[in-house]
Amino acid sequence: MQIQRQQRRKISAKVIEIVGEIAVASVVGLFFAWMVMNWLMGCGESYPTADGSLIMGECLSLLPWRW
């Protein structure tokens, strides 16, 4: 009986650890994807046109209601 409880605790601790690792990897992956998208969209860069005016690159906000 005592051994089963210890095994359950070990298994539940391992499951919590795996879920935590997946959550952290997901957050890091989403942040990296956001950085790459902003880089591809030219965030913070300006592009000259033929008449000399500048077109500013767009930045993707982290806040969805500002899209």
Please name which of 45, 5, 66, 4 lies closest in space to residue 58, comparing C-alpha atoms: 45
Q: Give the range of the structural domain holding residue 19, as residue numbers without chain letter.
A: 2-66
pLDDT at 42 over 90: no
Q: Which helix (H) or strand (E) holds 47?
A: strand 46-48
**The pTM is what?**
0.70
Compute the average pLDDT of residues 40-66. Answer: 85
Tell me which long-range contacts 52-60 makes (C-beta under 8 A, separation of at least 24).
60/34
Number of domains, the chain: 1
